[in-house]
Structure 1
């Protein structure tokens, strides 16, 4: 017969007694309750167009007495390049304006929210990006409203700005159609980067810096590798000149 381990038995008995006492007193530990879930942050609301007193129906530039410029991008092309350009701008502390093509948003709807969440302006660049000046007023209105419908569905707004497609300046019929669609102003530009000709990053920078000045609205495009290569260089050059890249809304207000 094995000798009785009296000390071990006493320890076991004491532990059992304590456990029974804890149960009787209702102090048995319970699993921790899961932490309450925080509600998801509400998405950034897209601002609506508004009339700017003192501004013409077609805006080509902002005030010349403030050290700001607006970099505006025609929104279509490779979505990866679009995300790269947005990220480059944000890394440099810049904000831009994206005029999105409706058919592009149909294929890449998440990019509407990506633009807004980055603090940028989002606007309308027609539904199919064809020559809007060659259309009748009724046809132009349908083209503008089709893109506006996409923007409203994705963001709750028709977009802050409208820019006509395939042209720098809008024909009178397009100006009227834009107003009927809810856009008090048409956004043009005074500096063309010509990046859509794929001239190389150095040429894109030179095309902009050769004529940019305070208040300028610069035309650029998503979808072109030269633009992505040029943007950090361009932003650095603007910084050396004391010019800050802001949204068109900030430029004009």
Structure 2
């Protein structure tokens, strides 16, 4: 009967999407979302680059402020602009894979979602000459295939605890600093964009945002240097620390 088929599909969807959504995206099992220090340090991360039209301005602002960050890059962009990847590394930033194809995991085939972290890690590592440590899937979305793909690639999923919202309708360079500062907390992982729609807000806002972050006593670091950052295990999830 048709309702049995619907029930079976619903059960499969619950395991394939619903379970990873609950355990990974909500409870953070197996991924890093923030550090666990108590000092005023945060991780600054950027997605979707590198883009020669916008990433250099982001790097200029970071260099002027003496701040280093983590860039989650799209494989094709990294391959097309190795000079920008070289500059990122030379200036002390972390470069990690974001995607081979920037497609939401929920609308991808299981095979595509499985292989994307593997392909992204391999291709980005070929440009950087470094082993990938972290992987942030597009839109921070997970399926069971995404989780398995990260394990196959030997990378740890990296989410965020503060979303800058630079891509959202109504976001402006003038509103971004106050919006971010209001959400910062010790160990926060902040996500912004150095390419794509969000860059039109972040690029002009970044010098003032960095100034206000530092003026308020916060120190921004790459993700890998954030105190207490680690993938959460079952004990962490159950203790809710």
Same fold (TM over 0.5): yes
Q: Any conservation in 1 of the 2:117–2:146 contact (CA below 8 Å)?
A: no
Q: Any conservation in 1 of the 2:133–2:154 contact (CA below 8 Å)?
A: no
Is 1:182 aligned with 2:154?
Answer: yes
Q: Any conservation in 2 of the 1:74–1:125 contact (CA below 8 Å)?
A: yes
Residue 192 of structure 1 is matched in structure 2 by 163
Is 1:138 aligned with 2:114?
Answer: no
Q: State the Cα distance separating 1:136 from its structure 2 match.
A: 4.6
CA offsets per residue over residues 53-81 of structure 1, 9 Å max, x none?
xx951211112412211111003263131
Report the RMSD for the aligned CA atoms in angstroms.
Answer: 1.9
If each structure's helix is expressed as a fraction of its own residues, which one has the higher value? Answer: 2
Work out the CA distance in 1 between the residues paired with 2:226 and 2:86: 22
Give 1 or 2 for the bigger CA radius of gyration: 1
Asked which structure has the greater RCO (Cα within 8 Å, sep 6+), the reply is: 2
Which residue of 238, 243, 246 corresponds with 2:213? 238
Q: Any conservation in 2 of the 1:201–1:227 contact (CA below 8 Å)?
A: yes
Q: Any conservation in 2 of the 1:122–1:161 contact (CA below 8 Å)?
A: no
Which residue of 88, 97, 100 corresponds with 2:73? 100
Q: Given the two structures, how large is their TM-score scaled by the length of structure 2?
A: 0.75
Aligned residues: 197
Q: Any conservation in 1 of the 2:50–2:78 contact (CA below 8 Å)?
A: no
In structure 1, stretches of 5+ residues that fail to align are 1-54
Q: Given the two structures, how large is their TM-score scaled by the length of structure 1?
A: 0.72
Which residue of 210, 213, 216 corresponds with 2:188? 216
In structure 2, stretches of 5+ residues that fail to align are 1-27, 229-241
